[in-house]
Structures are given as structure tokens and as C-alpha cells.
Structure 1
Amino acid sequence: MDAKPTPATGEAAPLNSLAVINPDYRIGTNDLLEFDVFGVPDMRRSVRVNATGSVSLPLIGSVPLAGLTAQQAEALLAKKYGENYLQNPQVSLFIREFTTQRITIEGAVAKPGIYPVTGQLTLLRALALAGGGAQYAELNEIMLFRNTRGQPSEPKVFDLDKIRSGEVPDPIIQSDDVIVVKRNAKRTALRDSLFRDILDTINPFK
């Protein structure tokens, strides 16, 4: 087993990729990754995630990384290299280019639909893509549905006013997320009732 060179005293370790990328971002197909093992310059290279979600790296070959965060991918690669090739490898992974991904925005928004997303996106920005809340939108009860290991999970509920005021963080949106903005049922029912009353007044013989 090849021993990993020990850095000299005072030599700075490389920056972890999490210092420059949000840890919630999930690696996707066509992402361009910069891979490095500290102290082993020959291992440094740029690799693109293929259509099956894998990358090909020296010594360990093809490794599936799609769906993992940068931190999870670093841990997986460090484990694989540490098993047979390097001693205590310090793997660094930086996502240089983000793939185009899609999210769905439904409910009481100006332009519901499926939106392509490049790079990192927050809930506020996602709603802006859909033109913001429509009439009677319940902006204090926005539901976020996320698939976990291929299975839909319980929705998380967010209050847009609290996000805007900084009381709670603006959550990162991931590929295949579904955002649902509820409509205030009571106000909608009141509007419909008033509309029917107006029609009855205009056309009493109906």
C-alpha cells in the first residue's frame, strides 16, 4: 500500500470544498468536478459526471457520485483510496460547473410549472422564477416536498415573511424538489360567494 506523503510542518492544508460551496448541493450528471488528494499532485484532475452519475478516477476506476453532497463524495472517495492505495488520504472535491436541473412550482403562484435550474437556488429565488405569489397565496405556509432515496418525504413548511426578515434561513432547493404554495381557502370562498351575489344582482332571472 502506498503511503501518503506527510506534509511539512507549517504547510497549509488545502481548502475543503465546503468552504466555497453550499453543503446542501447534490452532485448531478454533467457536473464538472475538480478532484485532488492533498500531498499527491499527480492525482489532481478535472472530471465530469457521466450520464450514469459516475466519474472515473485513477486507481479506483468508476465511482457513482450523483445524488451526494460534496462532503459525502469526499468521504466516499477517501474511504475507497484508503482501503487499498493511500494512507489517511485527504480528498478535496470542488464542483466547478453545475448541471442544469429541474424543480416544480405549483399552487398559488403567478406562473406555475417546471423550471430548469442551474447552480444553487434558494426558496425565495425559486418563487421569484414563478413570478411570486398569486392572489390569496398563503405565503406563511409554503410546502417543500423532497424525494429521499427515491421516496417522497413529509413536506417541510416555510413562512416566507420569516425568511425575508432573517428569522429563519432561506432553504436551498435541490433538483426534483416540488414547491407548493397554498391558496387561502376562506378568502377564495368569500371571493367566489361575493362574485355569485354580484351575478345574481345583475341577472335576477337566472
Structure 2
Amino acid sequence: MKILFSVLALCLAVWQPPVVLAQVRGAEVPPQSSMPDPVPGVPTSAASSASAGRAMPLGTLASLGADYRIGPNDLMDVEVFGVPDLKRTVRVNSSGQVSLALVGNVEVAGLSAQRAEILIAQKYAEKYLQNPQVSLFIREFTSQRITIEGAVAKPGIYPVTGQVTLLRALALAGGGAPFSDLSDIMVFRVGQDGVKTTSTHNLDKIRAGATPDPLVLADDVIVVKRDPVRAALRDSLFRDVLDSINPFSIFAPK
């Protein structure tokens, strides 16, 4: 009989759900985590940091294009993986250099963030570290210039600071001039590798939210063309008005 009761008790214990068992034993069931599984080969802290992203101060870019080139007064974080003592927040000086622990001044102006990472890693690898992994994060960027020309109110070369999109750039130039063609704005760019690219944008669609407002980078040239049809129509009407008020126009050869 004792054996029968023992078997029944064992069956009841197996049948009970885990939550009930935990309550009986006085333990709490840990809540199920909604975090993704760690990425193989990446420390847990690094994986969570990558998923959450870094907070950035107002007026800076969360994501810079690969063609962005570092310039004087840019503020950046420099880290060496596994060596927290080498972490620095540095500003590029007027000579285009940053001062880092152990290696001293490193010239980074004119480089992309990726190339600056490679250069700094090489500096540390020369004397101090074996296969260092350097990460560079640009917090603030300044000292950039763009050129806006063509059918705008105030064409010229404009210094810009922080995040500048195409809409903001054209606002600096006073917007489009009369008979400007805002549906075919051209942006000329020279990449880090020297490759020249050209892109076209429709400002009306950008204003309507149909297409994203693209980021303007340093040394970009923005060209706003004149609408030839509207300009020709204006010129034709202007000539007709002049002819109507010119008493000698009736003697002009046809």
C-alpha cells in the first residue's frame, strides 16, 4: 500500500506545471527575458551595447556616411577593445591631429572614420599592442563647407556645422530663384577614394515626405537648374509686352 501511495505522489509531482512546483518550494520563477541570444564570439556587454546603440547629443548625426571625412574641431570617442585605459574622447585640433595615450599625436583630418581606425590601430601595433581592435565614434562634426549654385536666391560657398540635409542647405541659399527647377536638383560629390558621383533629387517630393531628405556632406556641390520651358515662356511674354508699348515695333521687320 505504501508503494502505491508513493507512486501516486510521484505522478502528481510530475504532472504539476513548473510554476506550481516553484510556489510549493517557495521559489520564484524568473521572468522570461525578451533579449535576443548573445552573438557567438561577441561579449554579452558588447552585444547589448550594439543592440541599444549609443545616445548622441542633440545636433549630431546618429549615422555618418562612409564618405564623411574628419575635420578640425570634430569630437570623437576612440576605444581599443579590451584596453579600457586607452579610451579617450578627443577633439581634432586645427592641425588635423588628435592626441592619444601612448602614441601621441595622430593626423586624422581628411580620413574617413574607418581609415582613421586602421591608422590608429597601426600606431598602437608598432610598439605597444598585438593586433589591436580600434573603434572610432564621431560625436560632433564641424568645419564643413558646401557649394550651392545655379537658380538660387544667394549662390555661394557656405560653412556648415552639424547635421545638414538638402532642404536645410537650400534654405541657407535663400531657396530657389524664379523659374528654378526644383524637381531635378543635382548633388556632385567626390568620395574618399576620389570617385566622383552625381545624384538627382526632387525637392517637391522631399517636402511632401515621399522621399527622404538626403544628407549633404563636406565639399558637396549642389546645382539648382533653371526650368527652360518656364524661362522661355517668360522671355516670350516679356518681348510681347515690350513690343506692345514700343511705337516703333510696327516698323520692325517680320
Q: How big is the alpha-carbon RMSD for the aligned residues of Structure 1 and Structure 2?
A: 3.0
CA separation in 1, counterparts of 2:208 and 2:121? Answer: 40
State the distance in 1 between where 2:44 and 2:63 align.
28
Which deviations, in whole Å up to 9, do the C-alpha atoms of 1:143-189 show, x marking residues without a partner? 11223459682432222233334454322111221111001112101
Question: AA paired with 1:69?
Answer: S
- CA separation of 1:152/1:181 partners in 2, compared to 1, >3 Å: closer, same or farther? farther
The higher radius of gyration belongs to 2
Partner of 1:128 in structure 2?
A: 171
Q: Distance in 2 between matches of 1:190 and 1:9?
A: 67
Equivalent pairs: percent with the same residue?
A: 63
Count of aligned pairs between the two proteins = 199
**TM-score computed with the length of structure 1 as normaliser:** 0.79
The structure, 1 or 2, with the larger RCO (C-alpha pairs under 8 Å, 6+ apart) is 1
Q: Distance in 2 between matches of 1:38 and 1:149?
A: 26
The question of 1:160 aligning with 2:211 is answered no
**Contact 1:145–1:152 (CA<8 Å) still a contact in 2?**
no
Q: CA deviation at 1:195?
A: 0.4
Q: What is the CA-CA distance between 1:99 and the residue it aligns to?
A: 1.9
Which structure has the highest strand share of the two? 1
Counterpart CA distance in 1 for 2:47 and 2:194 is 39
Aligned to 1:107: 150
Report if aligned partners of 1:23, 1:69 keep a CA contact under 8 Å in 2.
no
Unaligned runs of 5+ in 1: 1-7
Unaligned runs of 5+ in 2: 1-41, 57-61, 250-254
1:172 equivalent to 2:215? Answer yes
Contact 1:28/1:49 (8 A) holds in 2: yes
TM-score (ref. length: structure 2): 0.66
